[in-house]
């Protein structure tokens, strides 16, 4: 797509709706499932008179994802500053967005040592570096895109929300799945009343074993103190989806789980500290770093590799010295590799959630049970069944939506809505403001309390 604003028609197309409707049988259920997905927030898509300007704190993976919106839609967003300690990343990013030298910073603190020079800050630093830049940016009057998890403690999250309120700033939390066409369709179907009252939800997140090893055993989210517990760093999306889909407050929560497999005592005989140290089982190990990163060239997005020529030598050097070459049984990880959460929502809706590392597949599986039928889905296909009439309808996101921007199309949806909300000074255009995102974060913190104490925890209130 070229430089232009998203019209309502584009949005409908992007979220899977054809203005002519979706070809399904014309049964009652077909009507619900086949109904074009409206823009859920009633947004008016006011054209941008001039682009919103933003500074990026943390030019890593997510910082580049959100910024690429400016490349696609330059009339809506201009990136005017960056803070990034890794010179290679800072240089590459600055070049891409033509950032003047005086606005290329080494660390986030430096952004706030000079007078405000943009509308917004996009905070995509590691989890442990969200609180500092968020508080500093709000104090100076910036609006924010703030990556999840909001911060590392409930108190920090509350501080950020209060300061945002006090300064009347718009803060978008990156619960990007709320923008993904698949989940939007699921939400619309669940909320339609076509199957009667909601009874319960079952959600599983199969993280997939290689993804687990990359992010939560070897990588950035392996250690609670350095990032967050798994429920906040990964599964805050899932808790947020459950809250959003039920549209009820959570009353009580319980959780069990542990780090069972990726531990030193499970290291196979003959294995070594790094896969490249002559490990005796490397050739057959499912977690061989040499296979994942070097032979198959997967999961390379957190390595700084030369953009031209053979990347092989740089990958091997990374595996010999960097975090991704470590044996998965000998890392300094402490986050769980399996966890269940049980939730009691208002109106007696129950929900269960499982985070599973040990799967050969990824992609959330979800089942919602209603008085008269059920909705099941796998992030691609939604199947809606009414067992009182025998009707069934199906909807496949790939047939209807542009899901190319990441998180099933959710990444650009969030940026688009944030820019619209900032332009119009209307936080209500954004379904993932900090206010909307606090309760699911509280669920994560409370579930971790419940897991640690082995009890059922009352949720209390979010103020
Ligand atoms: N919404 C989602 O679905 C989603 C997905 C992945 C990651 N995340 C979150 O996004 C954030 C970033 O994750 P990522 O995958 O981009 O990680 P990343 O490591 O690729 O990027 C983080 C960047 O921050 C930089 N940084 C470190 N210290 C800094 C400092 N003092 N000042 C400025 N920059 C600094 C790092 O050098 C790095 O380039 C994390 O909080 C993560 O949990 C969210």
How far away, in angstroms, is 237 Cα from ligand 1 center?
16
Of ligand 1's listed atoms, the one at least distance from the Cα of 130 is 41
How far away, in angstroms, is 239 Cα from ligand 1 center?
21
| Mutation pick for ligand 1 pocket among 55, 58, 61 (CB with most ligand atoms within 8 Å) | 58
How far away, in angstroms, is 69 Cα from ligand 1 center?
17
Kindly state if the Cβ of 211 falls inside 6 Å of ligand 1: no
pLDDT computed for residue 11 by the predictor: 35
Shortest-distance Cα residue to atom 32 of ligand 1? 107
Residue 284 DSSP class: G
The DSSP result for 174-190, as a single string, is --GGGGSHHHHHHHHHH
How far away, in angstroms, is 130 Cα from ligand 1 center?
9
Distance CA 264, CA 121 (A): 41
Kindly state if the Cβ of 59 falls inside 6 Å of ligand 1: yes
Shortest-distance Cα residue to atom 15 of ligand 1? 61
How far away, in angstroms, is 86 Cα from ligand 1 center?
12
Kindly state if the Cβ of 107 falls inside 6 Å of ligand 1: yes
Of ligand 1's listed atoms, the one at least distance from the Cα of 62 is 16
CB contact at 8 A, 178 and 346: no
Kindly state if the Cβ of 129 falls inside 6 Å of ligand 1: yes
Give the distance from CA 280 to its chain's centroid: 37
Shortest-distance Cα residue to atom 7 of ligand 1? 62
The DSSP result for 84-102, as a single string, is -SSHHHHHHHHHHTT--GG
Distance CA 355, CA 234 (A): 9
Kindly state if the Cβ of 303 falls inside 6 Å of ligand 1: no
Of ligand 1's listed atoms, the one at least distance from the Cα of 59 is 39
Shortest-distance Cα residue to atom 30 of ligand 1? 107
Residue 7 burial class via C-beta count within 10 angstroms: exposed 0-12, middle 13-18, buried 19 and up? exposed
Kindly state if the Cβ of 213 falls inside 6 Å of ligand 1: no
Which residues touch 421 (CB under 8 Å, ≥6 apart)?
A: 170, 172, 427, 428, 429, 430
Give me the tens of pLDDT residue by residue for the chain, a chain 463 residues long: 333 343 434 433 333 333 223 333 345 666 666 665 544 443 456 677 899 999 999 999 999 999 999 999 999 999 999 999 999 999 999 999 999 999 999 999 999 999 999 999 999 999 999 999 999 999 999 999 999 999 999 999 999 999 999 999 999 999 999 988 899 899 999 988 899 999 999 999 999 999 999 999 999 999 999 999 999 999 999 999 999 999 999 999 999 999 999 999 999 999 999 999 999 999 999 999 999 999 999 999 989 998 889 999 999 999 999 999 999 999 999 999 999 999 999 999 999 999 999 999 999 999 999 999 999 999 999 999 999 999 999 998 888 766 666 777 789 989 999 999 999 999 998 989 999 999 999 999 999 999 999 999 999 866 6
Of ligand 1's listed atoms, the one at least distance from the Cα of 228 is 43
How far away, in angstroms, is 62 Cα from ligand 1 center?
6
| Mutation pick for ligand 1 pocket among 56, 57, 59, 61 (CB with most ligand atoms within 8 Å) | 61
Kindly state if the Cβ of 174 falls inside 6 Å of ligand 1: yes
CB contact at 8 A, 217 and 262: yes
pLDDT computed for residue 398 by the predictor: 83
Kindly state if the Cβ of 41 falls inside 6 Å of ligand 1: no
149 preceded by cis ω (within 30°)?
yes
Distance CA 220, CA 211 (A): 12
| H helix runs in 175-334, sequence order | 181-191, 209-211, 230-233, 236-246, 289, 312-321
């Amino acid at each position: 797509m070229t430089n232009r604003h998203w019209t309502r028609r584009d949005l409908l197309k992007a979220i899977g709706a054809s203005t002519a409707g979706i070809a399904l049988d014309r049964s009652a259920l077909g009507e619900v499932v086949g109904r074009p997905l409206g823009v859920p927030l009633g947004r008016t898509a006011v054209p941008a008179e001039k682009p919103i300007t933003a500074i990026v704190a943390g030019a890593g993976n997510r910082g580049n994802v959100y910024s690429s919106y400016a490349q696609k839609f330059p009339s809506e967003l201009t990136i005017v500053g960056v803070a990034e300690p890794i010179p290679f990343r800072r240089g590459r990013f600055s070049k891409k967005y033509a950032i003047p030298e005086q606005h290329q910073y080494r660390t986030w603190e430096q952004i706030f040592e000079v007078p405000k020079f943009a509308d917004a800050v996009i905070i995509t630093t590691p989890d442990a570096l969200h609180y500092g830049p968020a508080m500093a940016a709000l104090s100076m009057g910036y609006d924010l895109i703030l990556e999840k998890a909001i911060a590392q403690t409930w108190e920090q999250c509350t501080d950020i929300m209060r300061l945002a309120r006090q300064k009347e700033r718009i803060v978008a939390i990156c619960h990007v799945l709320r923008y993904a066409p698949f989940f939007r369709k699921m939400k619309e179907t669940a909320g339609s009343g076509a199957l009667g009252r909601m009874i319960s939800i079952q959600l599983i997140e199969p993280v997939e074993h290689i993804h687990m090893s990359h992010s939560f055993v070897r990588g950035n989210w392996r250690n609670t103190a350095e990032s967050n517990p798994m429920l906040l760093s990964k599964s805050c999306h899932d808790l947020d989806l459950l809250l959003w889909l039920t549209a009820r407050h959570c009353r009580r929560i319980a959780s069990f789980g542990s780090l069972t497999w990726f531990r030193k005592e499970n290291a196979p005989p003959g294995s070594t500290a790094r896969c490249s140290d002559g490990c005796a089982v490397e050739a057959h190990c499912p977690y061989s770093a040499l296979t994942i990163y070097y032979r198959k060239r997967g999961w390379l997005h957190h390595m700084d590799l030369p953009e031209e020529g053979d990347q092989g030598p740089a990958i091997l050097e990374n595996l010999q010295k960097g975090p991704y070459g470590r044996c998965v049984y000998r890392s300094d990880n402490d986050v769980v590799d399996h966890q269940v959460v049980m939730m009691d929502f208002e109106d007696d809706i129950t929900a269960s959630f499982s985070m599973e590392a040990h799967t050969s597949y990824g992609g959330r599986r979800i089942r919602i049970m209603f008085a008269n039928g059920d909705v099941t889905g796998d992030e691609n296909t939604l199947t809606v069944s009414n067992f009182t009439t025998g009707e069934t309808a199906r909807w496949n996101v790939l047939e209807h939506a542009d899901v190319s921007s990441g998180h099933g199309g959710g990444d650009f949806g969030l940026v688009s809505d944030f820019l619209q909300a900032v332009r119009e000074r209307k936080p209500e255009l954004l379904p993932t403001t900090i206010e909307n995102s606090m309760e699911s974060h509280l669920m994560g913190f409370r579930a971790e309390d419940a897991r640690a104490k082995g009890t059922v925890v009352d949720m209390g209130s979010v103020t």
